[in-house]
Amino acid sequence: MKFAYTILYVPDVSQALAFYESAFGLTRGFVHECGDYAELQTGGTTLSFASLTLAESNIEGGVAPSDISHRPPAFELAFSTDDVAAAYERALAAGATPATPPTLKPWGQAVSYVRDVFGNLIEICTPIPAPEQ
């Protein structure tokens, strides 16, 4: 088994693409001409967006969309970088909502949290340090 991709169901696929490109510097991959599905290249795993309309056609009853006015959903996306503070500020400048400013964890990892324009939770962090031998 191989983890292939993550799909976020969003009200506006084009808006999601624009936000993630601006906030995190990601590059578009496949974009379906109908506008209901698109992918961003993130490395080994693709981050995908599908419209709520597409969710309704795939899943009986659709999905419960994320909502910035509610608590974050029970999952997060995580992006690693060597400069968490700069990435956090870039995300905020692109329209992200702050959740937790950059913090150094006891195990040596810098971590921050923002929410995207739809309310999804995003962790911005340094890679987890290798264990000392």
CATH 3.10.180.10 fits 1-65, yes or no: yes
Q: Are strands 5-10 and 27-31 parallel, antiparallel or unpaired?
A: unpaired
- What is the H or E stretch that residue 88 is in? helix 84-93
| Phi, psi for residue 14 in degrees, rounded to 5 | -60, -40
Backbone phi, psi, residue 56, to 5°: -65, -30
**Rounded to 5 degrees, what angle do the CA atoms 104, 45, 6 make?**
90
What are the structural domain ranges in the chain?
A: 1-65, 72-133
Domain 72-133 -> CATH class: alpha beta
Taking only the tens place, the pLDDT of each residue in 86-95 is 999 999 999 9
Same-fold call for 1-65 versus 72-133: yes
21-60 confidence digits (pLDDT tens)? 999 999 999 999 999 999 999 888 899 999 999 999 999 9
DSSP codes, 22-83: HHH--EEEEE-TTSSEEEEE-SSSEEEEEEHHHHHHHSTT------TTSPPPS-EEEEE-S-
pTM value surpassing 0.75: yes
- Tell me the pLDDT band of 133, cut-offs 50, 70 and 90: low
